[in-house]
Amino acid sequence: MTISHHPNDETLAAYAAGSLDEGSAFVIAAHLAMCPACRHSVRDFECIGGALLGDAEPSRLGRAHDGAAMQELALAPEPQLVSPPKPGVDTVERLISLYGQGRWKWRGFGVHSADIGVPVEDGVRVFLLKAAAGTKMPQHTHSGVELTLVLKGAFEHEFGRFEPGDIEDADSQIDHRPMVDAGSECICLVAMSGRLQLHGLVGKLFQPFVRI
């Protein structure tokens, strides 16, 4: 697995410090299970943070501990398993099972979503997003922030191609039109605050019906 797109350094540093909301931390933990390079980066940030913990306030120390626990959840095998799970998508599926997955719901444009039971914090919700092969989304941006981790298939837009393990770290400044590969459906794990903001005539017509 070759991973070309990673969270930005600010996001990884916030994860290492335990200051990310739970939904974003969950998706970053899933990415870490698939990306050795980012696991290394998080360890570096934790080392830097460890040198500064003596000056941290008690509440910050608690959040840092929470971040470390989330990383351990992503990387350590379940104690009751005879054989540890393989790194990558298998570990991500195990993480999802810990919180539970809702049923798939149609969202328009050949897209379905299924909620993941991660508690909503700071308005960030977590869900799986499944798009049929060849799906072309309308041009859109977001009213908040979005972390999108590819688990299966691939999509591309103006800013690159995203395959399994790749993560898009986007905000309201990103304006794009994702297109799913024609050969396979695409499934992503998403942490999102706000909603999709569709552009163009088609987008304006469908905006009332899109619940992503």
**2-31: per-residue pLDDT in tens?**
899 999 999 999 999 999 999 999 999 999
What is the predicted pLDDT for the residue at 13?
94
112 and 204 share a domain? Answer: yes
Of 54-63, 73-82, 120-129, least confident by mean pLDDT is: 73-82
Q: Give the C-alpha separation, 149 to 6, whole Å.
A: 9
What is the predicted pLDDT for the residue at 196?
64
- Give the CATH number, domain containing residue 163: 2.60.120.10
Q: Give the C-alpha separation, 40 to 46, whole Å.
A: 10
Choice between 43 and 196, residue whose per-residue pLDDT is larger: 43
What is the predicted pLDDT for the residue at 119?
94
pLDDT(73) > 60: no
Residue 1 belongs to some domain of the structure: no
Mean pLDDT, residues 29-49 taken together: 91
83 and 116 share a domain? Answer: no
**127-163: per-residue pLDDT in tens?**
999 999 999 877 656 667 789 999 999 999 888 899 9
5-19, 67-81, 82-96: which is most confident: 5-19
| Sequence-separated contacts (24+) of 111-114 with Cβ below 8 Å | 111/135, 111/137, 111/212, 113/212
Q: Which amino acid is at 91?
A: T
57 and 107 share a domain? Answer: no
pLDDT(64) > 50: no
Q: How many folded domains does the chain comprise?
A: 2
126 and 174 share a domain? Answer: yes
Last residue of a domain, which of 65, 97, 129? 97
Instruction: Starting at the earlier edge strand, list the strands of the sheet with 125-131.
Output: 105-108, 111-115, 125-131, 186-192, 146-152, 167-170
Residue 113 belongs to some domain of the structure: yes
What is the predicted pLDDT for the residue at 176?
62
pLDDT(112) > 50: yes
pLDDT(60) > 70: no
Residue 197 belongs to some domain of the structure: yes
pLDDT(210) > 50: no
Last residue of a domain, which of 97, 119, 142? 97
φ/ψ of residue 14, rounded to 5: -65, -40
110 and 170 share a domain? Answer: yes
Can you read off the two tokens belonging to residue 52? 């500064």
Q: What is the pTM (predicted TM-score) of this model?
A: 0.76
Domain that holds residue 105: 100-209
Neighbour-count burial for 134-169, b at 16+ CB within 10 Å, e otherwise: ebebbbbbbeebbbbbbbebbbebeeeebbbbbbbb
Mean pLDDT, residues 48-56 taken together: 61
114 and 80 share a domain? Answer: no
CA-closest candidate to residue 33, choices 83, 97, 100, 85? 85
29 and 125 share a domain? Answer: no
